[in-house]
Structure 1
Amino acid sequence: MEFRPFIRVAVCGLGLRIPVSSKASRGGVHSSATPCYCEISLPHFAIETVPISLVSSSLMTAPDVYNTVASFYLDEPALEKLLLPSCMPRMTIPCLEVAVFLGKQKLGIFRLPVGLDWAEGKPAVLHSGWTIIGNGKVDGGKPGAGAELHAVIKVEADPRYLFQFDKVTALSPQIIQVSGKKQQSIFSCKFSRDKLSRCRVGASDISSSSAWSSSFENKEKRKERKGWLVMVHDLSGSPVAAASMVTPFVPSAGSDYVARSNPGAWLILRPESPGADNWRPWGRLEAWREKGGKEVGFRFQLVSEGGGVTDVGNLVLTSETFLSAKKGGEFTIDAKRLRQEVFLGISPVESPKRSSTSSRSSGELSSGLGLHAIGEFVMSCGVRGDRDSSKPLVQVAMRHLNRVEDVAVFIALAAAVDLSVDACQPFKRRLRKELAEAMSSS
């Protein structure tokens, strides 16, 4: 498979020292309970707001340089746009900026100009160490040497694979790999109803009445959307992943929407071995309509290695995303938002630095990839709103894949995300024509 070049700019190891001469300082550490935080920005990207820790001025040790607090991902067009003189007012050089605040008081700004060397994609440390920001006036203190910011700014290549559904998910699309002007079919999807309602998953059965289903009982027999299934096949026709709706999407009491308190749910599955009839769970996706009906919420949980289907203790929260119900958006898995190590049940790749994950045989299908909160992009899925026909665009970081089959679970997850936007529509509204026709013919 051919990849699309991306670079990752990472901001790591943030720390703040405030001069002892400030009246609010004690023992070299600012004594105020006012929170310190940074606003990290790059032109054309959303501002990242992150907390920053205070460091004693009497200590010479630097903050943890492996602690990534913000990442920006640029492909070639984005980098070219950033380097155009017109992207900034008054022909100024675009910069990565770290603005430091103590409560509402801005202490200063650190700026790092964007350079042509970013485009080389070679691992490089653009900045590392302490830098004076501001003039040291903190909480009425006298001007001193100034507050100091510690930061490490790194750039590295982080290529991705891009995949496009060639038509809406309900019409059983081909999955096309997009690489420049080249397009190649790599998977096919088959949408149907309730064909995987009972199958073997390890030692347990799954069905819409299993432990994965909601404890909420639909005693009133209200409308429900249930039994949707997407099977992902490779070019030989062998099933390589599946998304099975295991908890129906039903409106909450007194409402026309699927509520967060009782979301619909999917299992994302993959075969125990190539061509096997037994499946094992890879992840669980929940979806609902937020109060007010303007957003669709998603919660994705990975099943830890060796976890059983009925044991929710084996679930690890991996992503919680909200999309505009009208305009759509991107469902994203990004390891920088994780607070603990999780395991992706895909082929092993080189573990990140400081990872405690032990290495495993490359031939072991049940092996995992350890992810830490180090700012790594994993995947994204772009979908349209609930009134538009959507052809999802899926991006997966190359570092998380070792063979073609590893892509399949991300494709199945993307299909479940796309169909969930439809499943969360108000129940007084009819489903889109393509989905209604696919359901009636299956």
Structure 2
Amino acid sequence: MDPRAFVKLSVSALGVRVPLASKPARTGVHSSTSPFFCEVRLPGYPVQTTPVPLVSPTSPPPDRGIAANFYLDESALDKLLSPTSCFKSSFPCLEVLVYTGRQGTRCGVKEGKLMGTFSLPVSSQWMEGKPIQLHSGWTGIGKGNSTDGKPGAELHLVIKVEADPRYIFQFDGETVASPQIVQIQGKITQPLFSCKFSRDRLSRSSGAGKWSGPLGGHDHKERKERKGWLIMIHDLSGSPVAAASMVTPFVPSAGSDRVSRSNPGAWLILRPDSTSGDSWEPWGRLEAWKERGSKGGLGLRFQLVAENGGGGTANVGGALVSETVISSHSGGEFSIDTARFRPATPSPARTPVQSPRSSGDCNFINVGLPASGGFVMSCTTRGERQSSSGRPLVQLAMRHITCAEDAAVFMALAAAVDLSIDACQPFSRKLRKELS
């Protein structure tokens, strides 16, 4: 598998330093005690907002904490630097805007007061693949006091660019149509997996935490529950290498025709058991529901399964790594980025478990949350009424994949995300014939 070149542009170690007031009555009191936050902007990318700590003039500078990550491939960088780019009203820059006051808006007006801006021009050298520290240290962002010559506020930040190559895959058709999955390498596509959808299930065997092969049987209670959907991922030789099994039925909440957040349906993402060729072991659990409101989006929550997380529960001791809401109407992107997603209660890292076919290197597949954090995967999904365009595109960080079988579990996860759009449709609406 050949990766596509990507770079990660990171902004970290943010802090604001404000000079001490010069008047005797305020000696030892900072000229600003309001909270600070910043907006990190790169043309063509969503603005990322994060709080910024106030640092005492006598304290050491901040040394950690990712504030924002941006991921660019060669085409994205070319677009930024193109003379015809719609962003080219001025030379494109990475900007960090620092505000003081309350974060948010009131009546459409930003409540915070702008203190100053740090800018860094975009450069074609970013795609050279070598790690580069573009800035590190303090820089002035506020106006000084002309009467006593004291400097204004200062911002501390570290900006780095480093290679972060990715594998790109696409389902060559709708998930429910059991398509091939191809790897995209420039203008060349190469089949790597096949996807098989059925309405059978994987059922538990007598071994704790182990899952046996599919059993027959179909569900005809579509109006009351949706269950028994199964996705099998096969390699080119036809061997099953990953699966996604609907282990918790999708049912409407009381007095409603929608799956609620309080009672979500769930998929278990499975891998072949390393000790037995005829059984499976759980790797992750995906929960899905419909948000409230007339335009309720699709809510998704994914967590890794701890070593002892089998037996169908798959949520004891696992690490929550992604929770997001996707537009049910137009679709969107589900992603796992450990630098952007910070659960309220961090989960402990998993005990290393060697993949049956990988090299056993430390990666997201085998140990869970990597110490360095950052992008792991993303997949696109369609909207509820866009079945004809339902071809998920999956991107995987190369550093977490040591063999093709490692990529397979992400294909199963992407398929489960895509089919959750159908599973969470209102029960007053009839499903398409392939699913009902």
Q: Check whether TM > 0.5.
A: yes
Alignment counterpart, residue 163 of structure 1, candidates 147, 166, 169: 169
> Partner amino acid for 1:301?
Q
**Quick one: distance in 2 between partners of 1:27 and 1:304?**
50
* CA shift in 2, pair 1:146/1:425, >3 Å: same
Secondary structure of 1:312's aligned partner: coil
Shift of 1:344: 9.5
Which residue number in structure 1 is paired with residue 115 of structure 2? 107
**Quick one: distance in 2 between partners of 1:163 and 1:54?**
43
**Quick one: distance in 1 between partners of 2:71 and 2:364?**
30
Shift of 1:400: 0.6
8 Å Cα contact 2:210/2:281 also seen in 1: no
**Quick one: distance in 2 between partners of 1:273 and 1:14?**
44
- Give deviations 1:352-384, integer Å, cap 9, x for gaps: xxxxxxxx9559999425424x55110001011
**Quick one: distance in 2 between partners of 1:250 and 1:73?**
38
| Number of residue pairs aligned between Structure 1 and Structure 2 | 406
- Give deviations 1:134-188, integer Å, cap 9, x for gaps: 2157xxx998401000010000111110111111111111111111111111111
Unaligned runs of 5+ in 2: 102-111, 214-220
Which residue number in structure 2 is paired with residue 333 of structure 1? 336
* TM value normalised by structure 1: 0.84
> Partner amino acid for 2:100?
L
**Quick one: distance in 1 between partners of 2:392 and 2:129?**
28
> Partner amino acid for 2:62?
P
> Partner amino acid for 2:119?
R
8 Å Cα contact 1:85/1:93 also seen in 2: no
* CA shift in 2, pair 1:363/1:118, >3 Å: closer
1:112-151 matches, within 5 Å, as 112-136=120-144, 144-151=150-157
**Quick one: distance in 1 between partners of 2:288 and 2:26?**
48
Shift of 1:21: 1.9
Secondary structure of 1:432's aligned partner: coil
Which residue number in structure 2 is paired with residue 72 of structure 1? 70
> Partner amino acid for 2:303?
Q
Secondary structure of 1:435's aligned partner: coil
Tell me whether 84-93 or 175-184 shows the greater mean CA deviation: 84-93
Unaligned runs of 5+ in 1: 208-219, 349-359, 437-442
1:138-217 matches, within 5 Å, as 144-199=150-205, 202-203=208-209
Shift of 1:269: 0.7
**Quick one: distance in 1 between partners of 2:328 and 2:334?**
12
8 Å Cα contact 1:18/1:136 also seen in 2: no
Shift of 1:56: 0.7
8 Å Cα contact 2:14/2:158 also seen in 1: yes
8 Å Cα contact 1:29/1:57 also seen in 2: no
**Quick one: distance in 1 between partners of 2:337 and 2:273?**
26
Which residue number in structure 1 is paired with residue 245 of structure 2? 244
Shift of 1:238: 1.3
8 Å Cα contact 2:264/2:287 also seen in 1: yes
Q: What is the alpha-carbon root mean square deviation over aligned residues?
A: 2.9
* TM value normalised by structure 2: 0.86
8 Å Cα contact 1:201/1:279 also seen in 2: no
Shift of 1:294: 2.8
* CA shift in 2, pair 1:200/1:394, >3 Å: farther
1:63 aligns with 2:67: no
Shift of 1:118: 1.2
Shift of 1:107: 0.8
**Quick one: distance in 1 between partners of 2:414 and 2:364?**
21
**Quick one: distance in 2 between partners of 1:303 and 1:30?**
49
Shift of 1:279: 1.2
* CA shift in 2, pair 1:274/1:3, >3 Å: farther
- Give deviations 1:322-370, integer Å, cap 9, x for gaps: 111010000010011135464497768xxxxxxxxxxx95599994254
Shift of 1:27: 3.7
Shift of 1:9: 0.3
8 Å Cα contact 2:15/2:53 also seen in 1: yes
Alignment counterpart, residue 304 of structure 1, candidates 303, 306, 312: 306
Tell me whether 269-278 or 162-171 shows the greater mean CA deviation: 269-278
Which residue number in structure 2 is paired with residue 226 of structure 1? 227
Secondary structure of 1:413's aligned partner: helix
Q: Percent identity?
A: 56
